[in-house]
Chains A and B, each alone.
Chain A
Amino acid sequence: MSPLKISWKSIWSKPLSSALNIMLIAFGTGILTILLLASKQISDKLENNSKDIDLVVGAKGSPLQLILSSIYYIDFPTGNIPLKEAQELAKSPFVKKAVPLALGDNYNGVRIVGTDTNFVGIYKLKVKEGKFWQSDFETTIGSSVAKNLKLKIGDTFYGAHGLTGSTDIHKTHAYKVVGILIPQGNVTDNLILTNISSVWKMHDHDEKKHEHDHDSKDHKEDKAPEIQNKEITSLLIQYRSPMSVVMFPRMVNESTNMQAASPAQESTRLFSLIGVGVDTLQWFALLIMFIAAISVFVNLYNSLKERSYDLAIMRTLGASRTKLFLIVIAEGIMLTLAGTIIGITLGHLALEFIGSNQESSQAQLTGLILLSDEAYLFAAGLAIGIFAAIIPAAQAYRSNISKILSKN
């Protein structure tokens, strides 16, 4: 009978306190696992979505809001910018590629994005079925959109005004699905892409329709000059050279009515804001782990008092000091290791559960991935087991069996 089996049986002989220890450790490890997985996935998503975009130009306002709306498609846009000015910027020698975005409508919560073919280039999109949008009201949809909204090529749908909700539907024109993208693993999976003039035309008719309700603004005038006043939401920019990083944003911010925001900078800022919360939770989880370690220690230490006679008997049966040391330390390690494994498993399951109940599909989390960092959690579990068991084990090693036996 190996020392391991003796430790194992000893754990099973006191199921309640063993279960308590395992639960404490599992809880701490579980929280750490969730934090690890979630923060890794969020930062990956943030990076992935803004990978090839160096700068976003949009209406003045919060730069973070501009990034959130034009890169991650989660917040409201800051406002509109004149197409003419945007086109001038796009022609700047600093700019390699410029992608105009026209936001404003949704279909069942999925954003309809008016853009041009540069969008395809910058996100390296490919179609799985059908083709990219060409003429007005043709759309190419992301893979998740096709799956979630059960849209096929040839289907038609009506967009609704705003970024969520479907109360104000543009009934005048129907969009038609002409292509479905292959999954990209980024935000484009959850977008409906069309050309800019479709978005404009949608609203032209809207305005005509609404004219009778509120005829205050200047669009009451002739429609022809409005082409000149066309507006877009923002412009995604890819730099031509590293030099642009220094010059271009300053130029935009100082010499135009628009603002330039860097996705990398704003993502970092956003993540550092979330990071405070993550840090707090992390300390909380570490505290739980620490309490768990003390609990395992107290458990082993107390049981050692009861078991000192057991251990002395084992010595009289021929067990060496080293064997007793192993028996006690193996018990601690088994408890914490079981807790760690259960905790990591629970963490994954919990995150998968959270992910499947998430409303926003843009930042969906999953528990079904394994990170190499989880090995550290494993090592930490082992270390806690050794830390909690080392003193009791050393006492078992040092105990004077003659004294223990003659006391009884």
Chain B
Amino acid sequence: MIALNAVSHNYENGHKIGFKDWQIDGGSQWLLLGASGSGKTTLLHILTGILKPQQGSVTINGTSIYDLSSKHLDQFRGRNIGIIFQRPHLIKSLTIKENLIMAQSFANLPTDLNRVREVLTSLGIADKKDAYPNELSHGQLQRVSIARAVINRPTLLIADEPTSSLDDKNAAAVLDLLINQSDINQATLIVATHDKRVKDAFTNTYELS
């Protein structure tokens, strides 16, 4: 259960943006819609504890995340929130397997190779575990970034424009994977997009004006 209460944020240029309250039930799947520049990324950053809003609070499973110290907030994020960025970004000096182990250890969880294998297998890239990121195609990297987001079984899975740089076929595939993974891991899913192709897959929508 995630709640957004009376949140507003001031940009550095003085522009102020307010967000309407949002209640998200555990395990539900949401679409966050808005045109470019409507504050989608800002809201995602606020939801994930990356950007502290000037007013309002964000509560995830009873924890008001901005009341946590910086260190605890980082750790809370590592354990409870998985983020998939528009462009997959992995640590180039580490193999796929090591990238996932790193995500486990940053969240202060023990290294669990079974879990790594399980996630990679469910995404169909188990054979790539010892490859380096620059040996993988864009589509494969996108899968790895999904794997990294779900490796710690997060409460909340957030994807920022996951399909915008993909063709129809791959966009559909990635969306399937996201919905599928949020089901498997019982995570709440929020997909932020301005991509019309994604709309049909979701019943819940939060629209930015």
CB closest chain-A residue, reference B87: A408
Let me know if A9 and B93 touch, CB within 8 A.
yes
Please give me the residue from chain A that is nearest to B93 by CB atom.
A13
A318 and B107 in contact (CB under 8 A), knowing A9-B93, A9-B98?
A: yes
Interface positions of B (Cβ within 8 A of A): 41-42, 45, 48, 50-51, 70-71, 74-79, 81, 83, 85-87, 89, 91-94, 98, 101-108, 111, 148
Inter-subunit contact A13/B74 (CB<8 Å): no
- Given A310-B91, A316-B83, is A322 in contact with B71 using a C-beta cutoff of 8 Å? yes
In addition to A9-B94, A313-B89, A317-B103, 13 A-B residue pairs with Cβ atoms within 8 Å of each other are A1-B101, A1-B102, A310-B89, A313-B91, A316-B48, A316-B77, A318-B75, A319-B74, A320-B75, A321-B71, A323-B106, A402-B50, A402-B51
Min CB distance A3 to B, Å, is 9
A286-320 Cβ-contact flags toward B at 8 Å (1 or 0): 00000000000000000000000110011111111
Which chain B residue shows the least CB distance to A314? B106
**Chain B hits for A401, CB < 8 A:** 50
* Set of chain A residues within 8 Å of B94, measured between Cβ atoms: 1, 6, 9
* A10 to B83 CA separation, bound complex (whole angstroms): 23
Give the tally of cross-chain contacts (CB within 8 A).
Answer: 80
Q: Which one of B41, B106, B108 has the highest number of Cβ atoms from chain A below 10 Å of its Cβ?
A: B106
> Do residues B50 and A317 form an inter-chain contact, with CB atoms below 8 A?
no
Taken together as a complex, chains A and B put the C-alpha atoms of A322 and B70 apart, in Å, by 10
CA distance A148 to B131 in the complex (A): 60
User: How close is B105's CB to chain A, nearest CB, in angstroms?
Assistant: 5
Collect the chain B residues with CB atoms within 8 Å of residue A319's CB: 74, 78, 106
A10–B132 CA distance with the chains assembled, in angstroms: 13
A12 at the interface (CB under 8 A from B): yes
Q: Separation in Å of the A308 CB from the closest CB of chain B?
A: 11
Q: Is A270 an interface residue (CB 8 A)?
A: no
A174 at the interface (CB under 8 A from B): no
For this complex, 10 residue pairs linking A to B, each with C-beta atoms less than 8 Å apart, are A2-B105, A13-B93, A316-B77, A317-B103, A318-B74, A318-B77, A320-B71, A405-B45, A405-B50, A408-B86
Asked if A372 is at the interface of the complex by the 8 Å CB criterion, the answer is no
Minimum CB–CB distance from A385 to chain B (whole Å) comes to 19
Give Cα distance in the complex from A6 to B102, angstroms: 8
Instruction: Tell me whether B93 and A1 are in contact (CB under 8 A).
Output: no
Across the interface, name the chain B residue whose C-beta is closest to A12: B93
- Residues from chain A with a CB closer than 8 A to the CB of B42 are 406
Cα distance A208–B70 in the bound complex, in angstroms: 100
CA distance A317 to B29 in the complex (A): 22
Query: Do residues B111 and A316 form an inter-chain contact, with CB atoms below 8 A?
Result: no
Within 8 A of B (CB), among A175-193: none
Query: Given contacts A1-B102, A316-B48, are A309 and B89 in contact (CB under 8 A)?
Result: yes
Q: Which applies to chain B's interface (DSSP): helix, strand, loop or mixed? A: helix
Q: With CB as the reference atom, state the residue of chain A lying closest to B86.
A: A408
A402 to B39, CA, bound (A): 13
Q: Which residues of A contact B51 (CB under 8 A)?
A: 402
Whole-angstrom CA separation of A401 from B89 in the bound complex: 14
A105 to chain B, nearest CB (A): 69
A9 to B92, CA, bound (A): 9
Given contacts A2-B105, A310-B91, A318-B106, is CB(A406)–CB(B45) below 8 Å? yes
For A405, list chain B residues within 8 Å (CB).
Answer: 41, 45, 50, 85
Interface centre among A310, A318, A401 (most CB of B within 10 A): A318
A1, B89: Cβ atoms under 8 Å?
Answer: no
Residues of A within 8 A of B75 (CB): 318, 320
* A321 and B77 alpha carbons, distance in the complex (Å): 13
Which residue of the partner chain A has the closest CB to B81? A316
Contact B102 A317 (CB under 8 A): yes
Q: Are the C-beta atoms of B78 and A10 separated by less than 8 Å? A: no
Q: Per-position contact with B for A1-44: 1 when CB-CB < 8 Å, else 0?
A: 11000100110110000000000000000000000000000000
Q: Are B91 and A1 in contact (CB under 8 A)?
A: no
Determine whether the beta carbon of B107 is less than 8 Å from that of A317.
Answer: yes
Contacting residues, chain B, for A318 (C-beta < 8 A): 74-79, 103, 106-108
Whole-angstrom distance between the Cβ of A309 and the nearest chain B Cβ: 6
Which residues of chain A have C-beta atoms less than 8 A from B77's C-beta? Answer: 316-318
The distance in angstroms between the C-alpha atoms of A402 and B106, with both chains bound, is 18
Are B148 and A317 in touch, CB under 8 angstroms? yes
Q: How far is the CA of A372 from the CA of B14 in the complex (A)?
A: 61
Bound complex: CA of A314 vs CA of B94, how far in Å?
Answer: 13
Q: How far is the CA of A317 from the CA of B91 in the complex (A)?
A: 12
- CA–CA, A58 and B71, complex, Å: 79
CB distance from A144 to the nearest CB of B (A): 54
Q: B77: shortest Cβ distance to chain A, in Å?
A: 6
Of all chain B residues, the one with the shortest Cβ separation from A315 is B74
Chain B positions within 8 Å of A309 at CB level: 89
- Assuming A317-B148, A401-B50, A405-B85, is B108 touching A6 (CB within 8 A)? no
**A320 adjacent to B74 (CB under 8 Å):** yes
Q: Which chain A residues lie closer than 8 Å to B105 at the CB level? A: 1-2
Is A408 in contact with B89, judged by CB distance below 8 angstroms?
A: yes
Whole-angstrom CA separation of A211 from B101 in the bound complex: 95
Contact B79 A321 (CB under 8 A): no
